[in-house]
């Protein structure tokens, strides 16, 4: 296995949070440390209670969204937010919010963020913490 | 060269299938094994005859889509589907469909999928097969 | 640190150029060589004066775009284009435009491209130059 999985989470549409949850939980189950660097539109989802507002779908797939949402409901699949929370209990999962994006979006302190966020971090520090591991951009 | 190229194919718009085809074929030509993990909206393209329905473009670039499509036609560039098929003939290319997404989209067996799909697979198995290689998320 | 950062830049919306600029500049500051392979809609931004036309946002986040743009303005953050230019001065940053996409978009020579572009390159050559490094797809 790779020595760490590092996810730059930029997209803010609800569909892209599914692979965030699944990949994080899977890596945690396999004993692979995960670092998530939240930036872009995804930052909104990590504000306090922000996860409740992850409901936008890409415009070009809006007609298919109900089938996907209902399919996951029928499977009783946990939400991406529950998957991140349980991954943090199982393994080493760090959730960072990009300091540049936080400032651009007028987030002034960690208190405005969801409690699952560990730290507000700069891109340079993230790049150093993810060195040698796998990095994916969602 | 990296020991394998691993592509998590999530996006379902027609434009994103071009790099899927090109990267897979290029890697196959260079002797690099490729593992494609199909999930999200891309899953629809790998249902039987699904490749014929890959025609949606991102809403914000719909006006530019004809120029791109016609430009590729003028070059007589093969379609992404033809590129995947020929890559499978040249090199080691495995196409997996994500078991979670298959279930969410009510795909009950491999028979409902395009014959170029090798297997329905879980994320954990994919992560193990891609270990040590390059992973990109499209 | 990884021995190189390789970015396949496909997306053409203005938001995605922020991480392109930030990651490139951060890597350059850390002494990590960067190779950018421009393809898809992003190619339009690297035509001569193309950077002035990077103003489209994903349809589903158009309402949020002014907050992000103004937030960055308030911080006096440099534009992605300025970040790429200064990264090229600081470190080893190569910007390649995908030869297939250039042909599809009727770009006939390097003279039609922005001067920050180093070369029109095929996917195979890019894959060889990025071998052993980190690859991300934006």
Q: What is the pLDDT of residues C124-135, one digit of tens each?
A: 999 999 998 999
Q: C58 and A57 in contact by Cβ < 8 A? A: no
Q: How far is A40 from chain C (nearest CA, A)?
A: 7
For A26-36, give one letter per residue: b (16+ CB within 10 A) or e.
Answer: bbbebebbbbb
Q: B65 in contact with C at a CB cutoff of 8 Å?
A: no
Give me the pLDDT at residue B64, please. Answer: 95
pLDDT < 50: residue spans in chain A: 1
pLDDT mean over C66-84: 97
Q: How far is the CA of C91 from the CAs of A114, A131, B105, C30, C83, in angstroms?
A: 36, 18, 47, 9, 12
pLDDT in tens, C85-100: 999 999 999 999 999 9
For C104-125, what is the mean pLDDT?
Answer: 97
CB contacts < 8 Å between B and C, how many? 70
Residue range C69-81: average pLDDT?
A: 97
- List all residues 6 or more positions away from A85 whose beta carbon is below 8 Å from its beta carbon: A116
Nearest CA to B95 out of B105, B107, B85 is that of B85
Q: Does A59 touch chain B (CB under 8 A)?
A: yes
Residue C43 distance to chain B (closest CA, Å): 11
Surface-to-core class of residue C65, CB atoms within 10 Å of its CB (0-12 exposed, 13-18 middle, 19+ buried): middle
- Structure-block tokens of residue C18: 């922020």
Interface pTM, i.e. ipTM? 0.96
What residues of C are in contact with residue A106 (Cβ under 8 Å)? Answer: 71
H or E, element range at B8: strand B5-9
B48 contacts chain C (CB < 8 A): no
Instruction: Kindly list the partner chains of chain B, i.e. chains with 3 or more CB atom pairs below 8 Å.
Output: A, C
What is the pLDDT, as a whole number, of residue B94? 98
* Of C93, C104, C86, the residue nearest C44 (C-alpha): C104
Residue B135, pLDDT score? 97
Closest to A79 (Cα-Cα) out of A17, A128, A132: A17
**Chain C residues inside the 8 Å CB shell of A137:** 19, 136-138
Query: Which of B127, B134, B135 is most worth mutating to test chain A (most A CB atoms within 10 A of its CB)?
Result: B127
The region that residue C40 occupies, defined by phi over 0 for left and psi between -120 and 50 for alpha, beta otherwise, is: left
Q: Say whether C105 and B59 touch across the interface (CB within 8 A).
A: no
For B71, which residue in chain C has the nearest alpha carbon?
Answer: C104
Spatial contact of A65 and A57, defined as CB atoms under 8 Å apart: yes
Indicate yes or no: CB of A127 within 8 angstroms of CB of C26: yes
What per-residue confidence (pLDDT) applies to A2?
58
Using CA atoms, how far apart are residues B90 and B82, in angstroms rounded to an integer? Answer: 12
**Phi-psi label, residue B39: left if phi above 0, alpha if psi -120 to 50, beta otherwise:** beta
User: In the predicted model, what is the mean pLDDT of chain C?
Assistant: 96
Closest CA to A104 of C75, C26, C79: C75
Strands in C68-126 per DSSP E: 93-98, 119-121
**DSSP conformation class of A79:** P
Q: Is B41 at the interface with chain A, CB within 8 A? A: yes
Q: Which residue in B has a C-alpha nearest to residue C128's C-alpha?
A: B1
Smallest Cα–Cα separation from C2: which of C94, C138, C118, C130?
A: C130
Chain B residues within an 8 Å CB radius of A78 = none
Spans in chain B with pLDDT lower than 50 = 1
Taking residue B14's Cβ as centre, other Cβ atoms within 10 Å add up to 20
The two three-digit tokens of residue A112, written as one number: 């405005």
pLDDT of residue B2: 57
pTM: 0.97
A9 min Cα distance to partner chain B (Å): 11
Q: Which residues, at least 6 apart from C76, have a Cβ–Cβ distance to it below 8 Å?
A: none
């Amino acid at each position: 296995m790779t020595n760490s999985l590092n996810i730059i989470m930029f997209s803010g549409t609800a569909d892209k949070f599914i692979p965030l949850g699944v990949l994080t939980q899977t890596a945690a189950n396999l004993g692979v440390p995960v670092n998530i660097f939240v930036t872009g539109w995804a930052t909104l989802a990590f504000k306090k209670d922000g996860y409740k507002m992850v409901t936008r779908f890409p415009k070009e797939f809006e007609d298919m969204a109900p089938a996907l949402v209902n399919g996951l409901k029928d499977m009783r699949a946990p939400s991406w937010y529950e998957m991140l929370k349980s991954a943090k209990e199982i393994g080493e999962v760090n959730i960072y919010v990009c300091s540049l994006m936080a400032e651009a979006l007028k987030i002034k302190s960690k208190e405005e963020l969801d409690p699952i966020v560990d730290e507000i971090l700069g891109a340079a520090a993230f790049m150093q913490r993810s060195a040698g591991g796998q990095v994916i951009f969602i």
